Amino acid sequence: MKTTILLCIGASLVYTTMALAADKGFVMDGTKRTITLPAPSVSLINGPGRDITSSYCNICHSLDYITTQQKFPEARWHAVVTKMVKTYGAPITEMNVDIITHYIATYYGTGK
Amino acid sequence: MKSQGISRRNFIKTVGITTALAATGTVPPLLYASERRLVTFPEKTELLLLTSRPPQLETPLKYFRELITPNEALFVRWHLADIPTSVDLATWRLVIHGNVEQQISLSMDDLKKFEKVVYTAVIQCAGNGRSFFNPPVFGGQWLNGAMGNVTWGGVRLKDILNKAGLKTGSMEVVFKGLDKAVLPATPNFLKSLPLDKALEDDIIVAYEMNGRELPMLNGFPVRLVVPGWYATYWVKSLSDIEVGVKPTDSFWVKTAYRIPDNPCGCVEPGTAPKKTVPINRMTTRSLLINPEDGSQLKSGQPVELMGVAFSGGYSIKEVLVSVDGGMNWRPARLGKDIGRYSWIQWFYPWQPAKPGNYHVMVRATNSIGESQPLDALWNPSGYLLNNIEKHNLIVT
């Protein structure tokens, strides 16, 4: 009897551990479902303008929005960063738009 | 790094394998623009990472060997970073308001009292395949994994709208989800459908994917399903339906997700369209899924090429296969037809006689004669991609 109970507890512990592993970041609590998203950990190449680029772009999205793009010239990136300000309301001054644009075009674009 | 002689897809496969073990609780940093790493998000299997905040995850092609795409493998695409991560069905409601007889507020139990509708439909991001555009365009650089074939279960939008009672003068229906922008100045994501489209029988508010609840990242508790149309309309974590008397002036309808206003939805590469319309029905596509591009085969040994074909709401009538770069075409055998919104599988037995590089091409045609262009058509937003793909199979 005692052995059976212990075996059952042992088995359910194994089962619980497996369930947790399979549902990583997911919790069901009665009628409430909650997920926990993994933290982004993208870092940009070191260079002039990197910190300004990281801090402003990171307000709204992870930096892989930059790193996964294809190679574009500076004028195209300028249009995109300007869209972030004009369309999406990013609080970036004109001077910082230029710094960000130049940084991205240099390290992730075609350079000009 | 991408080296010469390795196809893009092959490269991605290699990177995927080497980084699979690194996929843990945090998203590993991207080192090179063209890399795609496998990551695991809640309720999802290992998917290819496009962006992590908001999450945009792509389905590895191997899952398309099956007729139905599993819930945990379906792609993920959010627009704004404040996405719903916690929903309590005890308090969640779907509100229908605007130009209606009476505003209604439906719980999940209320929703399930309407007649249930179930069918299988392809869900595909408007920008699926954008990374193959030439010249390249800005936007999520998806490969071909921003699609899937899912059996949806839910209730007709029409039934819900009729319950609220449409008043005269209604012109369109606006859909909003629980996702929000980070900054108050950013336009929140919403989509609208013209009233006559919204009242079509097949448009549903879905609470089931493949017989189960939706994963949070695919729009739990309910999402709109507009079969045959691109997924931009399939609003996730739908919570608010508003009947309007005039067209919405939202950025997401008036400016974004638009295509050139002509039959091909295309313009000369590098140019801007004079007039645009909201994106709508999906173009016809066919894809080779197995063996994958760049695979090696043995001469004299039989192999079965397989893939999928689909179009925007019309059944696939024919899939033709060429194993000699487009000189000769022969019909593939089609799998079971489970409805006009589903994709259909195609199979083509082949026994390469001699060693060499073979260029395999596939072309689908639907029941109203829509097919695929030999060369990719171009538009500035990178939508509607459906050219005949050329795959390289190496026979030794």
Nearest-CA distance B41 → chain A (Å)? 7
- Residue B392 pLDDT > 50: yes
Assign residue A68 the CATH number of its domain.
Answer: 1.10.760.10
Classify residue A79: in a domain, yes or no.
Answer: yes
Classify residue A54: in a domain, yes or no.
Answer: yes
Tokens of B222: 């309910």
Least confident of A67-76, B6-15, B356-365: B6-15
Nearest-CA distance B42 → chain A (Å)? 5
More confidently predicted of B1 and B207: B207
Q: What are phi and psi of B364, to 5 degrees?
A: -105, 150
More confidently predicted of B48 and B18: B48
Chain B residue numbers touching A70 (CB-CB < 8 A)? 33, 131, 136, 141
Q: How many Cα neighbours within 13 Å face the side chain of B52? A: 26
**Count of C-beta atoms within a 10 Å radius of residue B159:** 15
The average pLDDT across A8-12 equals 46
Top-ranked range on mean pLDDT: pick from B6-15, B31-40, B75-84: B75-84
Q: Compute the distance between CA of residue B235 and CA of residue B205 in angstroms, rounded to an integer.
A: 9
Least confident of A32-36, B28-32, B51-55, B370-374: B28-32
At A41 the pLDDT is: 84
Last residue of a domain, one of B216, B240, B256: B256
In terms of domains, do B335 and B375 share one? yes
In terms of domains, do A8 and A55 share one? no
Last residue of a domain, one of B49, B77, B105: B77
In terms of domains, do A21 and A61 share one? no
How does pLDDT run across B183-210, given as a tens digit for each residue?
999 999 999 999 999 999 999 999 999 9
Which amino acid is located at B298 in the chain?
K
Q: What is the mean pLDDT of chain A?
A: 86
CB contact A91 to B (< 8 Å): yes
In terms of domains, do B124 and B240 share one? yes
At A14 the pLDDT is: 42
Name B152's Cβ contacts closer than 8 Å, sequence gap at least 6: B118, B119, B120, B121, B204, B206, B208, B209, B225, B227
At B27 the pLDDT is: 41
Classify residue B28: in a domain, yes or no.
Answer: yes
CB contact B51 to A (< 8 Å): yes
Least confident of A68-72, B28-32, B167-171, B285-289: B28-32
Classify residue B85: in a domain, yes or no.
Answer: no
Q: Could you give the percent of chain B with pLDDT greater than 90?
A: 90
Q: Compute the distance between CA of residue B125 and CA of residue B383 in angstroms, rounded to an integer.
A: 9
In terms of domains, do B302 and B221 share one? no
**Confidence class of residue B35 from pLDDT cuts 50, 70 and 90?**
low
Coil/strand/helix, residue B177: strand
Kindly identify which residue of chain B lies nearest to residue A80, measuring between CA atoms: B138
Q: How far, in whole angstroms, is CA B315 from its chain's centroid? A: 17
In terms of domains, do A54 and A101 share one? yes
Q: What is the mean pLDDT of chain B?
A: 92
Please indicate whether, in this complex, the C-beta atoms of A32 and B55 are within 8 angstroms of each other: no
Classify residue B86: in a domain, yes or no.
Answer: no
Q: Could you give the percent of chain B with pLDDT greater than 70?
A: 91
Assign residue B315 the CATH number of its domain.
Answer: 2.60.40.650
Q: How many Cα neighbours within 13 Å face the side chain of A50? A: 10
At B13 the pLDDT is: 39
- Residue B214 pLDDT > 70: yes
Specify the number of domains making up chain B.
3
Q: Compute the distance between CA of residue B79 and CA of residue B81 in angstroms, rounded to an integer.
A: 7
Q: Compute the distance between CA of residue B165 and CA of residue B163 in angstroms, rounded to an integer.
A: 5
Q: What is the DSSP string of A28-49?
A: EETTEEEE-PPPP---PPPSTT
In terms of domains, do B189 and B328 share one? no
- Residue A4 pLDDT > 60: no
In terms of domains, do B249 and B136 share one? yes
At B99 the pLDDT is: 98
At B20 the pLDDT is: 32
CB contact B22 to A (< 8 Å): no
The average pLDDT across B30-51 equals 82
In terms of domains, do B104 and B219 share one? yes
At B171 the pLDDT is: 97
At A19 the pLDDT is: 42
- Residue B176 pLDDT > 90: yes
**Ordered strands of the B86-88 beta sheet:** A26-29, A32-35, B86-88
Coil/strand/helix, residue A65: helix
Q: What angle do CA B120, B350, B347 make, to 5 degrees?
A: 10
Q: How far apart are the first and last CA of chain A?
A: 78
In terms of domains, do B167 and B247 share one? yes
Kindly identify which residue of chain A lies nearest to residue B140, measuring between CA atoms: A69
Specify the number of domains making up chain A.
2
In terms of domains, do B250 and B160 share one? yes
> ipTM for the complex?
0.88
At A58 the pLDDT is: 97
Coil/strand/helix, residue B394: strand
The average pLDDT across B4-15 equals 37
At B24 the pLDDT is: 35
Classify residue B309: in a domain, yes or no.
Answer: yes
Last residue of a domain, one of B239, B256, B273: B256
Please indicate whether, in this complex, the C-beta atoms of B138 and A41 are within 8 angstroms of each other: no
Classify residue A42: in a domain, yes or no.
Answer: no
How does pLDDT run across B244-279, given as a tens digit for each residue?
999 998 999 989 999 999 999 999 999 999 999 999
Chain B residue numbers touching A24 (CB-CB < 8 A)? 25, 40, 42
In terms of domains, do A93 and A55 share one? yes
Please indicate whether, in this complex, the C-beta atoms of B42 and A32 are within 8 angstroms of each other: no
Assign residue B178 the CATH number of its domain.
Answer: 3.90.420.10
Give the pairing type, strands B223-225 and B204-209. antiparallel
Domain of residue A99 covers 50-108
**Count of C-beta atoms within a 10 Å radius of residue A65:** 21
**Count of C-beta atoms within a 10 Å radius of residue B333:** 13
- Residue A2 pLDDT > 60: no
At B93 the pLDDT is: 98
Please indicate whether, in this complex, the C-beta atoms of B52 and A38 are within 8 angstroms of each other: yes
Classify residue A18: in a domain, yes or no.
Answer: yes
At A112 the pLDDT is: 76
The average pLDDT across B211-224 equals 98
**Confidence class of residue B30 from pLDDT cuts 50, 70 and 90?**
very low
Domain of residue B51 covers 8-77
The average pLDDT across B87-93 equals 98
Q: What are phi and psi of B280, to 5 degrees?
A: -145, -105
Handedness of CA A72, A74, A77, A79 (dihedral sign): negative
